[in-house]
Amino acid sequence: MKEGYPPVNIKFSDRDRYYDCFNHYRNNDNDCSKMTELVSEYAADELKRYIDIAGQANALKNQHPEDFSEKFDKEIER
């Protein structure tokens, strides 16, 4: 998160894959590629979700500009 990536939540259904990443790391000279792949997939999904939400907010703003103040506009621009 310090580097600007969204937080990710590994799904319970992916727990076996998550544990396999640790096993791969231990059994392959500290190769973190499997964990990097898993986390990057989750991060990409989160970023897509954020983009979708931003698009929805923008559409609402365009449909109802009277409901959005200048302060709100400045917050979005940051």
65 lies in some domain: yes
Q: How confident is the model at residue 78 (pLDDT cuts 50, 70, 90)?
A: low
Domain count, the chain: 1
Choose among 47, 48, 54, 43: nearest CA to 77.
54
56 lies in some domain: yes
Q: What is the rounded average pLDDT of the residues 13-35?
A: 97
47: CB partners within 8 A, 6+ apart: 6
Q: How confident is the model at residue 58 (pLDDT cuts 50, 70, 90)?
A: confident
23 lies in some domain: no
What local confidence, expressed as pLDDT, does residue 13 receive? 96
Q: Domain range for residue 67? A: 32-78
78 lies in some domain: yes
pTM of structure: 0.70
62 lies in some domain: yes
Q: What is the rounded average pLDDT of the residues 28-45?
A: 96
The rounded distance, in Å, linking the Cα atoms of 61 and 16 is: 42
